Amino acid sequence: MTSRPASSSATRSVPSTAAIPLLPATALVLCGALMTRIQDTALNIANPALMADFGLPAATVAWISLAPMLMSASLLTIFGRLADLRGRRNLYAAGIVIFGGGSVLCALSPSFAVLIVARIVQGLGGALMAANSMAYLIEIYPPTRRGFVVGLWEAGIATGSGIGPILGGAVIEASGWQGSFGMILPMAIAMAVAVPFAMKEPVRAPGSPRFDLAGAMLFGVGVASFLFALTRASVEPWGSPVVVGSLALSVVCVVLFVRVEGLVESPMIDLRMFQSRTFTSGNLAKIAGYLPFSAHGFLLPFYLKEVLALPPTGIGSILVALPVGMFAATLVSGPLSDRIGTRVLAPAGLVVQAIGCVILAIASPEMGINAPMAGLLLGGLGIGAFIAPNDSAILAATPRDRIGVANGIMGVSRTAGLLLGVAVGGAGLSARVVANGGQFLPAFHDVYWFIAVVAFAGVLLATVRDRRSA
């Protein structure tokens, strides 16, 4: 592998953030988090209407959510690196315009195929925004407030997750599924207008390195094929040609990517970043943490319907415990991690989440709604307490000129955990129902014991740190 000085590029490209107003920039970035999350979660309410209008099964309609997720995750690290080299404000503004334009296309879509294309456009815009959101705040805030920034960002995500279903339900009831896309357009327009005034680009030194196009293409295809395999694994056997072929393509891309990154002068991802135990284990812990979080949203509606016989309104009122717990914990854990460090808080959060999984693994009809409420609330509190200190530790182990790349890799880890949660929940529940002679509750318990093991494995991963990490 070609030897590269570890600090020269960092020295050239660390931006100056003097005189950047923090409050307007923070408000704008949080509005972006709210807008994209409101859009995504509102679509959960729109799915039944989409199924009825287009006459499609649930597995097909699910691509309304999966398509932009795959697009965003595949491009997030690429856009993060581009922003590290060229700046963030213009890319963020472009993301707002593309996301808003995609919303218009979605609302006007005459067919399901056009709607999927429009959602992919939204995914492109969302990737541009996400790559330049938290990374931008990390860049303009002092390092001593890193946990506060991450916690604030995640609180915005949790708030959007809580608002989306409520707002989306009201709008969809009044104007159909098209309204769930049109409702965010005024916000997108206002944000686009505000960018020049609220978001100032830090001064960067001239002479940025060349963008690694070959590495970016291999990385994007590799991530997309890997995540596509995870989405198919929730509805097809792991040994199916589609899943195996997608995984094989991702492996080929990884091998070629590592080869290319060792040859270019300024690689898209400096692979030495993974020599940091904090960076590598922190990202693996994110996968282990987000898997239960995603599985809750997929599995609990089945439990609440099949075991407790609750109506849709009752199911929705219980599921809100997850984002409520996450919101409360993120507001506390971020600033707290700035004061006491991350070594205890991150694994402690996953311990809380794992306890919630154990409660769900022993839930019974006699417990009523208390068990699912407690499991979801602990799951939200746990993941919320974990995210800010874990992400803060990862970012602290990242060179300043690679913050965008690190943010993108963290996004890939998050998406992999979310998709694995659905894959494990869907495939695992189906397999265990068959193994238990068609009985739902024992199958539900089996799956949650496995998820609890994953959560406890995340605890161990979250404890791994470099010696000098806080």
Model pLDDT for residues 193-238, shown as the tens digit of each residue: 999 998 888 766 666 678 888 889 999 999 999 989 888 876 778 8
What is the end-to-end Cα distance of the chain in Å, rounded? 31
**What local confidence, expressed as pLDDT, does residue 246 receive?**
94
Model confidence at 3: pLDDT above 80: no
pLDDT surpassing 60 at residue 6 = no
How many angstroms separate the CA atoms of 142 and 132, rounded?
Answer: 17
State pLDDT tens for residues 268-287: 888 889 989 999 999 999 99
Same domain, 341 and 393: yes
Least confident of 13-17, 46-50, 87-91, 106-110: 13-17
User: Does 412 lie in the same domain as 351?
Assistant: yes
Assess if residue 3 is contained within a domain.
no
Domain assignment of residue 401, yes or no? yes
Comparing 253 with 231, which gets the higher pLDDT? 253
**What are residue 269's phi and psi, to 5 degrees?**
-120, 120
The predicted-structure confidence for 124-171, as pLDDT tens digits, reads as follows 999 999 988 888 888 888 888 888 888 888 888 878 877 887 788 788
| Lowest mean pLDDT, pick from 61-70, 346-355, 447-456 | 61-70
Q: What Cα–Cα distance (Å) separates residue 466 from each residue in 104, 126, 273, 278, 367?
A: 47, 33, 12, 5, 43
**Are residues 275 and 263 part of one domain?**
no
- Domain containing 388 equals 271-470
User: What average pLDDT is seen over the chain?
Assistant: 86
Structure tokens belonging to residue 284: 């693996």
Could you read off the pLDDT of 312-344 as tens digits, one per residue? 677 778 888 888 898 889 888 888 888 887 888
Angstrom distance (rounded) from CA 301 to CA 303? 5
Query: Is residue 308 assigned to a domain?
Result: yes
For 203, the 3-state DSSP assignment is strand
State the alpha helices, DSSP H only, in 55-145. Answer: 58-61, 63-86, 89-107, 112-131, 134-140
**pLDDT (0 to 100) of residue 87:** 85
**Each residue of 392-433: pLDDT tens digit?**
899 888 887 788 888 889 988 988 888 888 778 877 888 888
Res 206: pLDDT = 64
Cα 30 from Cα 430, distance rounded (Å): 39
Percent pLDDT > 90 in the chain is 38
Q: Minimal CA–CA distance to 379: which of 428, 324, 450?
A: 324
| pLDDT at residue 11 greater than cutoff 90 | no
In a domain, 4, yes or no: no
Query: Of 201, 224, 256, which residue constitutes the final position of a domain?
Result: 201
Query: Same domain for 170 and 220?
Result: no
Provide the pLDDT for residue 453. Answer: 96
Q: Say what the pLDDT of residue 8 is.
A: 37
Distance from C-alpha of 360 to C-alpha of 380, rounded to nearest angstrom: 14
Minimum mean pLDDT range among 34-43, 115-124, 312-321, 367-376: 312-321
The pLDDT of residue 4: 42
CA distance 304 to 320: 13
User: d(Cα 470, Cα 342) in Å, to the nearest integer?
Assistant: 6
Q: 93 versus 161: which is more confidently predicted?
A: 93
Question: Which 3 state secondary structure label does DSSP give 16?
Answer: strand
For residue 257, report the phi and psi dihedrals to the nearest 5 degrees: -60, -45
409 with 332, same domain: the answer is yes
DSSP 49-61: HHHHHHT--HHHH
Question: Which burial class, exposed, middle or buried, applies to 16 when counting CB atoms under 10 A from its CB (0-12, 13-18, 19+)?
Answer: exposed
**Same domain, yes or no: 291 and 402:** yes
Enter the DSSP assignment of 18.
T
pLDDT for the residue numbered 16: 52
User: Which pLDDT score is estimated for 15?
Assistant: 55
Q: Are residues 36 and 109 both part of a single domain? A: yes
Beta bridge partners of 203: 16
Whole-angstrom distance, CA of residue 467 vs CA of residue 291: 28
Biggest CA pair distance of the chain: 67
In a domain, 371, yes or no: yes
424 and 376 housed in the same domain: yes
What one-character DSSP code corresponds to residue 87? -
**Residue 143 falls within a domain, yes or no?**
yes
CATH code of the domain containing 463:
1.20.1250.20
Q: Are residues 180 and 50 in the same domain?
A: yes
Residue tagged 């898209």 (tokens): 268
Choose the final residue of a domain: 252, 267, 282.
Answer: 267
Q: How far is CA 420 from each of CA 228, 291, 368, rounded to the nearest angstrom? A: 11, 6, 28
Residues 247 and 294 in one domain: no
Confidence band for 291, pLDDT divided at 50, 70 and 90? very high
Asked whether residue 405 is assigned to any structural domain, the reply reads: yes
C-alpha span between 256 and 219 (Å, rounded): 9
pLDDT tier for residue 32 given thresholds of 50, 70 and 90: very high
pLDDT(7) > 60: no
What pLDDT does residue 208 have?
Answer: 67
Res. 292: pLDDT tops 90: yes
Residues facing 16 on adjacent strands: 203
Q: Model pTM?
A: 0.81
13 within some domain = no
Specify the pLDDT at position 204. Answer: 66
Q: Spell 198-233 as b/e; 16+ CB within 10 A means b.
A: bbbbbebeeebbeebeebbbbbbbbbbbbbbbbbbb
Contact 121, 98 (CB under 8 A): yes
Of 174, 163, 165, 143, give the one whose Cα is nearest residue 337. Answer: 143
Q: Is 296 in the same domain as 314?
A: yes
Percent of the chain with pLDDT over 70: 93
Q: How many domains does the chain have?
A: 3
Helices 63-86 and 112-131, axial angle in degrees (round to 10): 30
Q: Determine the Cα–Cα distance for residues 188 and 125; give it in Å rounded to an integer.
A: 11
Same structural domain for residues 70 and 164? yes
The whole-angstrom separation of Cα 323 and Cα 376 is: 9
